[in-house]
Chain A
Amino acid sequence: MPISEAHQSTDDPRVTLDRELGVFEPVPPYPPRTEREAEFYTLGDGEMFINMGPQHPSTHGVLRVVLKLDGEKVVDLDPVLGYLHRGVEKLCENADYHQAICYTDPLEYVSSLFNEWAPVLAFEKLMDVEVPRRAEYIRVLSSELNRVASHALFLGWMALDLGGLTPILWSFIERDEIVDMLAALTGQRMLFNYFRIGGVNGDLNHEFMSRLGDWMSKATEQIESGNALLNENEIFVRRMRGLGTIDTATALRMVMTGPNLRATGVPFDIRRAHPYSVFPELEFDIPTRTEGDCLARYLLRMDEIKQSLRIIDQCLHNMPDGPVIAKLPRLLRPRPGRAYAAVEGPRGQYSTYAISDGTDQPFRMRIHDPSFIHLQSVGLMMPGHLIADTMAIMASLDPIMGGVDK
C-alpha cells in the first residue's frame, strides 16, 4: 500500500520527500538508452532481477550489482558504480602538487603506498627531479611490505566470502604486524602519506628495523601455516576450481593486468615490463599459472608474497646511504607538460597521467585503477554460475571500491 505522494522524511521532520515509499526496483525508471541497457533490462520467462545492493555483506565496499537470475543460476549481471565517487580527479585539479598525494592515498586504501607512488613518479617526471637512490630503495622496501599486507588480507577475504570464519582473522593478525611496522616507519597505520615528490618523508629508524627484523624471521612459515587450512580443504578447493576461468586472449582483450592476468599465463608485470625506480637491480621472478580460474588467482597471490619477501631481503642487504629527499623549492611550479607513470600494485597496473600548465595546481590528473577494469570481466565470467559463485569470483578478482569509484 504505497504511502501518498509527499510525506515527511523520517530523519528530519522539516524535510518533505516527494518520492513514493515503496519497493525500490532494480530496473531504472527511465526507458533504456543504450543497446546493452535494453538487452539487459528485458526479462525472459522465469527470470527475475535482484539487487545485490550497495550495502551487501560481500561486495568489498559500496558496489551495487543488478543480477538477472533464473532460479539460482545467474543469467547476466550489470554492476552499478558511483556510490563511493568522491571526485578525486576534480579535487586534485583544485589542490597543489603536495596535496594531490593526500587525495590519492585513500583510493586503494588497502595498499595506499602504491596510490602515492604513481602520482609522485608522474610529478617527478614533470619537474625533472632526480630521486636519491636511498629514497628509491626505501620506497621499494615499504611498498613491497604493503603488497604482502594487501595479499594477506586478500587470502582472508577469499575465505570469508566462501563462508570460513577463521582465516579472515588470522590474516588480519598478519596484516596488523606489517601495518604496525609501517606505522613505525611512516607514522600512519593505513593511509601513510609517506612519499614526497623527490623522495620520502623520513629515514629508516631503529624501531622499524627491529620490528622488520623479527617479522622477517618468522614471516614465511607464519603465512604458510595460516593458509594450509584452506589450500587442501576439499570444500574450499571444489568451490574454487574451474570457476570464473578466463583464457589469455579474453584477458588481454579485457585489458586485465596484475595477478588476474598472470593467472592466465601472461608474465606481464610492470616492474619487469616497464622497469621504474630500482627494480632493474633487484632480481626476483614473476610467478604465473595457466588455468586462470579462482584457485589459480588465489595460489598465485601466495607465490607473490614469497617473491615480495625476496625483494625485501635484497633491499635490506644493499640499502645505500645518502639523503632521503631531493632539494625542491617550497612552491612547486612545473613547466607546462604531460607525464604518465605506471606502478605494479597488488591488484594490477595503477597509473597516473598528469598534465601541468605552469601554475602550482595540476591542470588534469587522470588516475587509472586496476580494480575498475577487473570488475568488467565479472560480467564475462559470471553467466551460467550460481549466486554463491558471484561472491567467489568477485572475491578472487579482489576489487577495492575506493579505487573503482575514485
Chain B
Amino acid sequence: MDRHFKARLEARFAAQLTGPIRQRHDETEMRIAPGDVVSVITALHDEPDLNFQFLSDLAGVDTGVVMQVVYHLWSETTPDWLRVTADGLSRDDSRVPSVTFLWKGAEWMEREAYDMFGITFEGNRDLRRIYMPPDYQSFPLRKDFYLADDAARSPGGGVRPMERTESPTNAPATALVRRTPA
C-alpha cells in the first residue's frame, strides 16, 4: 500500500487513466484504454524513476461483459506489484497491441491469451493456438463457452465410442453460443 507511488502514478498518467487507481494489500491497480497500452508500458519500462523491468504476468480476463488484458509488473522502486489493466475490449473482436517489442518472453503468454479468449495481439509474430489443437474453433475460457456445443461438434464428442451416434456433418452455427439470459 505505497501511497507515494499512487500519487506519482496519478501525476504521471493522469491523461491515460480510465478509472481511479485502487490499492489493496500490496498491489496497485490502474486501468487504461487498450489504445494507450504501448505508450504507458514503454513509459513504465523506460523511465528511470519508474523502471519496471520485470513483466511478471500477462493474463486475459473475460468479465462476461467486456474483455480485459492484465499486465503485472515489478520494479525495485516500489514494494508493490503494479497491475495495468487494458479494459474495454469488445467481446467478438478484441484487439490489443502486443508487448513483445519490450519483452520477447511475453510471446507465449499472449499466445495463451489468444488461445483461451480469442484476444488478438497486433505485433505478435507468432499468434497461434498453444494448448488447443490447431483446428479447434471455440475459445474455452470465455464465459459463454458451452462444453456440450463443443463436444457435439468434435468427432470424439465426449461420448464413448460404444454409444457414439453419427457426428453432425455440419454443426449448426447457432449452436456455438448458448443463449444465456442477458
Contact A268 B25 (CB under 8 A): no
A136 contacts which chain B residues (CB < 8 A)? none
* 8 Å CB contact of B81 from A87, A340, A364: A340
Contact A339 B24 (CB under 8 A): yes
| A18 nearest in chain B by CB position | B155
Number of interface residues of B (CB under 8 A): 46
Contact A338 B29 (CB under 8 A): yes
Contact B55 A82 (CB under 8 A): no
A268 to B55, CA, bound (A): 13
Chain A 173-202, CB within 8 Å of chain B: the 1/0 string?
000000000000000000000000000000
A353 contacts B by Cβ under 8 Å = yes
| A351 nearest in chain B by CB position | B57
Known: A34-B127, A87-B140, A364-B61. A255 touches B134 (CB 8 A): no
B181 contacts A by Cβ under 8 Å = no
Contact B27 A339 (CB under 8 A): yes
Chain B 88-131, CB within 8 Å of chain A: the 1/0 string?
00000000000000111111110010001000000001111111
* 8 Å CB contact of A340 from B53, B72, B105: B72
A406 to B131, CA, bound (A): 9
B161 contacts which chain A residues (CB < 8 A)? 12, 14-15
Known: A340-B81, A376-B108. A125 touches B25 (CB 8 A): yes
A63 to B71, CA, bound (A): 27
A229 contacts B by Cβ under 8 Å = no
Known: A14-B162, A28-B134, A366-B59. A254 touches B105 (CB 8 A): yes
Number of interface residues of A (CB under 8 A): 46
B106 contacts which chain A residues (CB < 8 A)? 255
A377 contacts which chain B residues (CB < 8 A)? 105
B164 contacts which chain A residues (CB < 8 A)? 15
Contact A355 B61 (CB under 8 A): yes
- Which secondary structure dominates chain A's binding surface? mixed
A89 contacts B by Cβ under 8 Å = yes
Known: A30-B135, A34-B126, A351-B56. A340 touches B76 (CB 8 A): no
A349 to B102, CA, bound (A): 19
A405 contacts B by Cβ under 8 Å = yes
Known: A30-B134, A34-B125, A338-B83. A368 touches B56 (CB 8 A): yes
Contact B130 A81 (CB under 8 A): yes
Contact A90 B55 (CB under 8 A): no
A81 to B74, CA, bound (A): 28
B133 contacts A by Cβ under 8 Å = yes
**Other contacts beyond A338-B27, A372-B109, A375-B108: 18, CB < 8 A:** A12-B162, A34-B128, A81-B130, A87-B140, A253-B105, A255-B105, A274-B79, A337-B24, A340-B57, A340-B81, A351-B72, A364-B61, A366-B57, A372-B108, A373-B108, A376-B105, A405-B131, A406-B131
Can you list 8 pairs linking A and B with CB atoms under 8 Å apart? A15-B164, A253-B103, A273-B76, A274-B26, A339-B24, A342-B81, A355-B61, A368-B59
A residues in contact (CB < 8 Å) with B? 12, 14-15, 28, 30, 33-37, 81-82, 85, 87, 89-90, 125, 252-257, 268, 273-274, 337-340, 342, 349, 351, 353, 355, 364, 366, 368, 372-373, 375-377, 380, 405-406
Q: Which 10 A-B pairs have the closest CB atoms?
A: A255-B105, A36-B126, A366-B59, A254-B105, A82-B131, A85-B131, A15-B161, A368-B57, A125-B25, A36-B125
